[in-house]
């Protein structure tokens, strides 16, 4: 690691990535999600922002108690914010100093922007051969380089919307920017791989991640089925193309899901319903048969399930080792995780202002080097003074 990086107050606590500095030029979601994960495990992430700040700072409501955007807050904890106006010589000089002394640079600008400012991989590597340079694009660096990388657009052109929604309804997006999150996870993984390679070779490498490629890889069984058969799947609502019953049902009071994954579970499910003979019915005796006759099976199951409350069914099915659960809202989902001892919520406190932020906990748990949720998402330029008069 370089040793001329300037002052490092609020240095991350010891973590598996302690000593790794990240110059984060990314905005909105995919890049900030990746760098937040790095920061959670000890990396020193410097969020380099324009004078207007990351776009998501203005994406509200909702806002937290301090009036800050909760969207921005969701992916920017444990970071420091430095404003660099790249249109000025001072701002550009600060950005270059941060980039040339970093272990990792991550960016998601339009093609040519980093080159225009002398912050591209080739230029930075001349003085920092150990640099890991991560570039996030919507559609790659070739023919799709100029296409705008918005999550909704990628969900549409990448096929996800075509398989999401009711069979007789319109295509639907997922309720969160899932493609951005997947891409952020891929960027996080790619950076870790590049750091591991640097440990072995002494040289950094380039990591390229794009939204469309991340989505296509995440389509997994739907993608492999299409490639093998030449036929694209249709929307099935909440049903599964290869398993039945594996979908949403209405109980007496609210919805629940039943996720039968094998014949044993179906036999147990039929027993709980008081219809054990269903497991011997040739229409439903095997998973392949149940998928083929899913409509007939659903016609039998629906009136049975509406006879009791959803919670009653979930309790009875869980005791019979049949996967089932309520359709929780997000608040109920956090409460459910709390009831299981998962500690899904963390609170970080700004040591200088006392400002607090409650966020979902990092889902990766390392027993020897756990994640640390140290500080709330930074206010714009909150760490500007740290870089004043830096050598």
Write down the catalytic residue from 40, 54, 120, 180. 180
Whole-angstrom distance, CA of residue 4 vs CA of residue 287:
63
Cα–Cα dist 79/363, whole Å: 18
Is 168 among the residues known to form the active site? Answer: no
Residues serving a catalytic function are 180
């Amino acid at each position: 690691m370089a040793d001329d990086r300037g002052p490092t107050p609020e240095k991350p606590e010891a973590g598996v990535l302690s000593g790794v500095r990240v110059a984060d030029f990314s905005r909105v979601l995919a890049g900030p999600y990746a760098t937040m994960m790095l920061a959670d495990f000890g990396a020193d992430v410097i969020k380099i922002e324009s004078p207007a700040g990351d776009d998501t700072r203005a994406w509200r409501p909702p806002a937290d108690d301090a009036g800050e955007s909760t969207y921005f807050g969701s992916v920017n904890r444990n970071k420091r914010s430095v404003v660099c106006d790249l249109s000025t010589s001072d701002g550009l000089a600060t950005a270059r100093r941060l980039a040339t002394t970093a272990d990792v640079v991550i960016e998601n600008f339009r093609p040519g922007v980093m080159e225009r400012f002398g912050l591209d991989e080739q230029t930075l590597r001349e003085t920092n051969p150990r640099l890991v340079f991560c570039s996030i694009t919507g559609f790659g660096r070739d023919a799709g380089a100029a296409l705008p990388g918005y999550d909704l657009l990628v969900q549409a052109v990448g096929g996800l919307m075509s398989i999401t929604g009711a069979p007789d309804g319109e295509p639907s997006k997922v309720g969160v920017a899932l493609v951005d999150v997947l891409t952020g996870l891929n960027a996080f993984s790619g950076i870790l791989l590049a750091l591991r390679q640097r440990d072995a070779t002494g040289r950094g490498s380039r990591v390229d991640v794009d939204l469309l490629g991340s989505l296509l890889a995440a389509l997994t069984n739907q993608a492999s089925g299409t490639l093998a058969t030449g036929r694209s799947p249709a929307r099935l609502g909440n049903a599964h193309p290869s398993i039945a019953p594996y979908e949403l049902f209405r109980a007496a009071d609210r919805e629940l899901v039943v996720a039968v994954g094998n014949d044993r579970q179906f036999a147990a499910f039929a027993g709980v319903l008081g219809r054990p003979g269903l497991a011997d019915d040739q229409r439903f005796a095997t998973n392949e048969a149940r998928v083929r006759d899913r409509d007939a099976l659903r016609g039998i199951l629906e009136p049975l399930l509406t006879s009791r409350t959803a919670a009653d069914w979930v309790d009875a099915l869980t005791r019979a080792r049949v996967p089932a659960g309520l359709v929780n809202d997000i608040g109920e989902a956090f409460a459910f995780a709390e009831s299981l001892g998962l500690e899904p919520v963390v609170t970080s406190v700004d040591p200088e202002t006392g400002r607090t932020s409650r966020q979902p906990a990092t889902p990766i748990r390392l027993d020897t080097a756990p994640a640390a949720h140290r500080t709330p998402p930074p206010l714009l330029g909150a760490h500007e003074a740290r870089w004043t008069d830096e050598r």
